[in-house]
DNA sequence: ATGAAAGCGCTAACAT
DNA sequence: ATGTTAGCGCTTTCAT
C-alpha cells in the first residue's frame, strides 16, 4: 500500500540513504544517480512519511497558528491573516496547525512539548499577556502579532498603529479640519489592554495636539445602535466637528448612516478616515479614505521571520509595518468657515 | 532536555510498554502501577513525542480542514466553522491542520499520502467538484460540507438549504404575503455550481408555487450598489411585492437601507426573511427574521462523523441539518389589501 | 560519491 | 498484570 524509501532505493538500485540525500540535497549526488532516484520516485509515487521524517529529522515542518476568538476582533482580518500564513508557510514547505486561544497556555505548551510543531505564531497579543513567559521558555521559536509592554526576548510584528492614527489625523488636518474625533474599538478592547487599540489612540491624540486640533476619543460597541448613539453624542459635544477617524470596522457603515440621518453629508459636512482592511473601506456605500490593515502582509512577514529563526538566524525583535493611506470618497477639504 | 517514555518507565520502576499502556488504557493496569506511572509522568513533565507516536501507532491524531477562499462565501461563516472544528477535534484529542483550497487536489493528496493527517474535512463542495474522485480514492476517511451531484461513497453534511428556502417562503405566506422575491448569492456562485445556493432557489420556488405565490429570483453581487439596483428592479418588476427572502449576508443591511430609501418600511410595507448566521440577523439595524446558518453545529457534526469513521464505524452518507427559523422585527402580517 | 547501520521515541505483538 | 522486543520509515553519522 505505502511506498517507502527502501522501495525507491531498490527500484533505483541505490541505498536508502542515497535516496534520502538525493531528495534533500544535503550531500552531492552524481547526475546519473539523481536521475535514477527521481525516476523511481515518480514511477512509484513515493511520498516520504511525515512522522517518520519528523522523528528522524527532529523537525515536523509544521507551524502553529493561534487565533483569537474574542469580541471586538474583526473576523475577516483574522481569516485573511490565517490564509496568508498558510500560503506563506507552504512556500517554505511547511504546514499550519490551527489553535484557538481557548486552549490557552496549555495548548501552546502541548504542541511545543510534543514536538507537533516546530514554531509558533501567536495573534492578538495583549499588553500584559499571560502567555509571554511561556513563549520565552519554550524551546521553539515564536513570532507574536502585536506588541506587549515587555517585548524583550520576543519577536513581534505589527502595523505601526500609532503612525496609522497619526496619519489619519494628519490627513484631516491637511484638509483644513480643526475639530476631530476618534471612534474607537469597543470599550472591552481597551480595558483588557489590547496594545494596538491604545496605540491608535496615542497616535490620534498626539497628532491632533501637534496639529493644534480639538479632539476627543470615544470607544464604540460593534452595533448599529451604539454607532448611532456615538454619532449623536459627538455632535452634541463637538458641534464644530468636521473630521472623524474610525478604528472599528463593524460600525463604519452604520456610523456614516447615522451622520447622514443627522443631517451631515459625507464628505460635504464631515470627512471620515478609517483604519481597516482596504476591501472594507472600498466596499462601503461611501468608500472611505483609509489606512490599510495589511493582514496578508503581516502573515507573510510573520512566517518569514519564523523560518529565519528556525534556521538559527538572528531577526529583529520588533517589526513595525509602515501604514499607508489611500484616498477615497469620504474626505474633502473643510468648507471655508 | 526531552523526557521520554524510558525515563518515565525507569522513574516508575516499570517497563516502557507498561507506561504506554497505562497512558493509553489499552490494557488493564493495576491500581498501584497506574499511580506510580502517573506520578512519574507528572514529576518529569512527560509529553509523548507526537511524531514517534504517530509513526509507531500509524495515527497522527491530526485532521485536515480545507477552507474555501472564493468570493461569495461569507467569511464569518467559514471562520466560525473552522473554530468549531478545532474545538470539536480537541475533544477527541485531535488537532487540525489548515489547508486552503488554493492548494487544490495536490494539497489533499499530499497530506493524505504523507500520513500527515488521519482524515479530512472539505468545505464548500461544488456540485461537480474535481476533488471527488480523489477523495474517494484516498486511503483516509473524509467528510464533505455540502452536497455534490454524485455523492455516492462520500459522507456529506450540510444544512438542508432546500428546506431553509421553503421555510422562509412559508413564513411569508403564513403572514399573508402573496408576491415574493428571492435575493440570492452573487451570480458567479450559481454559475460555478455551488449546491447550497441552488438548493435555496429550488426550495424557494417550490414553496412559492405550492403556496400559490407570485415569485422571482435575483442573484445579487455582494456590494451596496448592487443591492440598491436589485431593490429598484424588484419594485419595478413586482410592484405588488411585500415579501423578500435574502440569501446573501453581505447585502442584507444595504438592501434594507435601499428599500427604506425607496419609501418602503420594513416590516410595515415589506417583510424580510433571510438565511444567514443568527449573529448577523440579530445585529442588523432592523433585526431580521432568519433561518440560522449553523456553522458551529456543522463543524461539530463533521468532526463527530469523521471520528466515527476513523474507528471503523459506518456512518450515514448524508446528514441534513433541519433548518430553524427565528422571528425577529423584519416580518409582519401583510396589510389588508 | 555512495553504503551500512544506528538510532529517533513510541506502540503493539508476543511473551510470561 | 507486566516485561521483552521488534519494528514504524526516515535521517544521519560513520565508513569506504
8 Å CB contact of B79 and A83 = no
Q: What number is the average pLDDT over the span B229-242?
A: 96
Strands laid side by side in the B214-218 sheet = B214-218, B179-183, B243-246, B271-276, B289-292, B325-326
Whether omega before B96 lies within 30 degrees of 0, making that bond cis, reads no
B6 touches strand D (CB under 7 A): no
Q: What is the pLDDT of residues A215-254, one digit of tens each?
A: 999 999 988 889 999 999 999 999 999 999 999 998 998 8
* Cβ(B218)–Cβ(B227) below 8 Å: no
CA nearest to A271, candidates A212, A184, A333 = A333
- CATH 1.10.260.40, applies to B5-56: yes
Gyration radius of chain B over CA positions? 25
**Across the interface, which of B45, B55, B76 has its CB nearest the CB of A52?**
B55
8 Å CB contact of A285 and B54 = no
Check residue A85 and give its pLDDT: 98
Average pLDDT, chain B: 95
The domain locations on chain A are 5-56, 62-159+295-321, 161-293
Q: How far is residue A323's CA from residue A291's CA, in Å, rounded to a whole number?
A: 6
Indicate left, alpha or beta for A251 from its phi (over 0: left) and psi (-120 to 50: alpha). alpha
> Is 0.85 topped by the overall pTM?
yes
Residue of chain B whose Cα is closest to the Cα of A81: B79
The CA-CA-CA angle for residues B84, B89, B90, to 5°, reads 100
Q: What is the pLDDT of residues A259-291, one digit of tens each?
A: 999 999 999 999 999 999 998 899 888 999 999
B55 touches strand D (CB under 7 A): yes
Whether omega before B267 lies within 30 degrees of 0, making that bond cis, reads yes
B201: confidence class by pLDDT, cuts 50, 70, 90? very high
Q: Chain B residues with CB inside 8 Å of A73's CB?
A: none
Identify from B1, B81, B98 which residue to disrupt to test chain A contact, counting A C-beta atoms within 10 A and taking the largest count.
Answer: B98
8 Å CB contact of B224 and A284 = yes
Q: What is the pLDDT of residues A287-325, one digit of tens each?
A: 999 999 999 999 999 999 999 999 999 999 999 999 999
Q: How far is CA B158 from CA A29, B124, B196, in A?
A: 52, 10, 8
Cell of B44: 518529569
* Cβ(B204)–Cβ(B181) below 8 Å: no
Check residue B337 and give its pLDDT: 54
Q: How far is CA A302 from CA A32, A73, B164, B210, in A?
A: 40, 19, 42, 56
* Cβ(A76)–Cβ(A42) below 8 Å: no
Q: How far is residue B277's CA from residue B323's CA, in Å, rounded to a whole number?
A: 12
A115 near B CB under 8 A: yes
CA distance B26 to chain A (A): 21
Residue of chain B whose Cα is closest to the Cα of A90: B103
B204: confidence class by pLDDT, cuts 50, 70, 90? very high
Close Cβ partners of B152 (under 8 Å, ≥ 6 residues apart): B317
> H or E segment at B253?
helix B252-261
**Which residue matches cell numbers 541505490?**
A14
Cell of B201: 432557489
Three-state secondary structure call for residue A126: strand
How big is the A-B interface in CB pairs under 8 Å?
118
Q: What number is the average pLDDT over the span B112-132?
A: 96
Close Cβ partners of A77 (under 8 Å, ≥ 6 residues apart): A249, A277, A293, A295
Cell of A174: 491637511
Q: What is the CATH number of domain B161-293?
A: 3.40.50.2300
8 Å CB contact of B87 and A98 = no
* Cβ(A9)–Cβ(B75) below 8 Å: no
Q: Chain B residues with CB inside 8 Å of A222's CB?
A: 283
Interface of A with B in 251-280 (CB under 8 A): 253-254, 257
Cell of A54: 519528523
Q: What is the pLDDT of residues A32-43, one digit of tens each?
A: 999 999 999 999
8 Å CB contact of A55 and B60 = no
Close Cβ partners of A31 (under 8 Å, ≥ 6 residues apart): none
* Cβ(B61)–Cβ(B50) below 8 Å: yes
Q: Would you say residue B236 has pLDDT above 90?
A: yes
Residue B215's beta-bridge partner residues? B180
CA of A10 to C1' of C4 (A): 15
Q: What number is the average pLDDT over the span B252-269?
A: 93
A24: confidence class by pLDDT, cuts 50, 70, 90? very high
A71 touches strand D (CB under 7 A): no
Q: How far is CA B67 from CA A83, B73, B107, B195, in A?
A: 9, 10, 12, 16
Q: Would you say residue A336 has pLDDT above 60?
A: no
Q: Chain B residues with CB inside 8 Å of A114's CB?
A: 47-50
CA distance A49 to chain B (A): 5
B105 near A CB under 8 A: no
**Which residue matches cell numbers 405565490?**
B213
Q: Which nucleotides of C are covered by protein (CB under 7 A)?
A: 1-5, 7-13
Q: Would you say residue B218 has pLDDT above 60?
A: yes
Q: How far is residue A151's CA from residue A131's CA, in Å, rounded to a whole number?
A: 12
The CA-CA-CA angle for residues B86, B92, B94, to 5°, reads 55
Check residue A337 and give its pLDDT: 53
A226 near B CB under 8 A: no
Q: What percent of chain A has pLDDT over 70?
A: 99
Q: Chain A residues with CB inside 8 Å of B50's CB?
A: 51, 54, 60, 114-116
Q: Would you say residue B45 has pLDDT above 80?
A: yes
Cell of B6: 524510558
User: Which nucleotide's C1' atom has the smallest distance to the CA of A20?
Assistant: D11
CA distance B82 to chain A (A): 9
In terms of pLDDT, which residue wins out, B189 or A83? A83
Close Cβ partners of B120 (under 8 Å, ≥ 6 residues apart): B63, B64, B65, B66, B108, B111, B112, B135, B138, B140, B141, B142, B143, B306
Same fold across A5-56 and A62-159+295-321:
no
Torsion of CA A121, A127, A131, A136, to 10 degrees: 80
CA distance A79 to chain B (A): 7
* Cβ(A282)–Cβ(A328) below 8 Å: yes
Q: Chain A residues with CB inside 8 Å of B67's CB?
A: 83
Q: How far is residue B181's CA from residue A280's CA, in Å, rounded to a whole number?
A: 28
8 Å CB contact of B49 and A55 = yes
The CATH architecture of the domain made up of B62-159+295-321 is 3-Layer(aba) Sandwich (3.40)
Residue of chain A whose Cα is closest to the Cα of B68: A83
Cell of A41: 520516485
Q: Would you say residue B336 has pLDDT above 60?
A: no
Query: Which is it for strands B142-145 and B156-159: parallel, antiparallel or unpaired?
Result: parallel
Q: How far is residue B180's CA from residue B177's CA, in Å, rounded to a whole number?
A: 7
Check residue A284 and give its pLDDT: 87
Average pLDDT, chain A: 95
CA nearest to B291, candidates B266, B267, B323 = B323
Check residue A76 and give its pLDDT: 84
Burial A172-198 (b: 16+ CB within 10 A, else e): bbebebbbbbbbbbbeebbeeebbbbb
8 Å CB contact of A51 and B51 = yes
The CA-CA-CA angle for residues B137, B140, B142, to 5°, reads 90
Instruction: Read off the DSSP letter of residue A263.
Output: T
Check residue A46 and give its pLDDT: 98
Q: Would you say residue A202 has pLDDT above 60?
A: yes
Instruction: Read off the DSSP letter of residue B333.
Output: P
* Cβ(B291)–Cβ(B324) below 8 Å: yes
* Cβ(A321)–Cβ(A157) below 8 Å: yes
Q: What is the pLDDT of residues A171-185, one digit of tens each?
A: 999 999 999 999 999
Q: Would you say residue B70 has pLDDT above 80?
A: no
Q: What number is the average pLDDT over the span B269-293?
A: 94
Interface of B with A in 173-212 (CB under 8 A): none
Q: Would you say residue A71 has pLDDT above 80?
A: no
Q: How far is residue A167's CA from residue A331's CA, in Å, rounded to a whole number?
A: 13
8 Å CB contact of A87 and B102 = yes
In chain A, the N- to C-terminal Cα span, in Å, equals 81
A55 touches strand D (CB under 7 A): yes
Q: How many CB atoms lie within 10 A of CB B130?
A: 9
Q: Would you say residue B262 has pLDDT above 80?
A: yes
8 Å CB contact of A51 and B48 = no
User: Which nucleotide's C1' atom has the smallest distance to the CA of A114?
Assistant: C9
Amino acid at each position: 500500500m505505502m511506498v517507502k524509501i527502501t522501495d525507491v532505493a531498490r527500484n533505483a538500485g541505490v541505498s536508502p540513504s542515497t535516496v534520502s540525500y538525493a531528495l534533500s540535497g544535503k550531500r552531492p549526488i552524481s547526475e546519473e544517480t539523481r536521475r535514477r532516484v527521481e525516476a523511481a520516485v515518480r514511477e512509484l509515487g513515493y511520498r516520504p512519511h511525515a512522522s517518520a521524517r519528523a522523528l528522524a529529522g527532529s523537525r515536523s515542518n509544521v507551524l502553529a497558528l493561534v487565533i483569537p476568538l474574542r469580541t471586538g476582533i474583526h473576523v475577516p482580518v483574522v481569516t485573511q491573516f490565517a490564509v496568508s500564513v498558510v500560503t506563506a508557510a507552504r512556500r517554505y514547505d511547511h504546514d499550519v496547525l490551527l489553535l484557538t486561544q481557548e486552549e490557552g497556555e496549555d495548548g501552546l505548551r502541548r504542541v511545543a512539548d510534543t514536538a507537533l510543531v516546530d514554531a509558533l505564531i501567536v495573534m492578538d497579543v495583549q499588553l500584559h499577556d499571560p502567555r509571554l513567559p511561556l513563549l520565552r521558555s519554550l524551546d521553539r521559536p515564536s513570532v507574536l502579532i502585536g506588541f506587549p509592554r515587555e517585548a524583550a526576548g520576543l519577536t513581534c510584528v505589527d502595523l505601526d498603529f500609532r503612525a496609522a492614527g497619526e496619519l489619519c489625523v494628519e490627513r484631516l488636518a491637511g484638509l483644513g479640519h480643526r475639530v476631530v474625533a476618534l471612534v474607537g474599538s469597543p470599550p472591552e478592547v481597551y480595558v483588557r489592554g489590547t496594545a494596538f487599540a491604545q496605540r491608535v489612540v496615542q497616535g490620534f491624540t498626539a497628532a491632533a495636539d501637534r496639529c493644534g486640533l480639538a479632539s476627543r476619543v470615544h470607544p464604540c460597541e460593534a452595533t448599529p445602535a451604539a454607532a448611532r448613539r456615538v454619532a449623536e453624542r459627538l455632535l452634541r459635544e463637538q458641534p464644530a466637528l468636521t473630521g472623524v477617524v474610525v478604528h472599528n470596522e463593524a460600525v463604519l457603515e452604520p456610523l456614516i448612516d447615522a451622520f447622514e440621518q443627522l443631517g451631515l453629508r459625507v464628505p460635504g459636512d464631515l470627512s471620515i478616515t478609517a483604519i481597516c482592511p482596504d476591501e472594507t473601506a472600498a466596499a462601503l456605500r461611501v468608500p472611505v479614505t483609509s489606512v490599510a490593515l495589511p493582514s496578508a502582509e503581516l502573515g507573510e512577514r510573520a512566517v518569514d521571520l519564523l523560518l529565519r529563526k528556525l534556521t538559527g538566524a538572528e531577526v529583529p525583535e520588533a517589526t513595525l509595518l509602515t501604514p499607508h493611506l489611500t484616498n477615497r470618497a469620504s474626505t474633502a477639504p473643510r468648507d471655508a468657515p
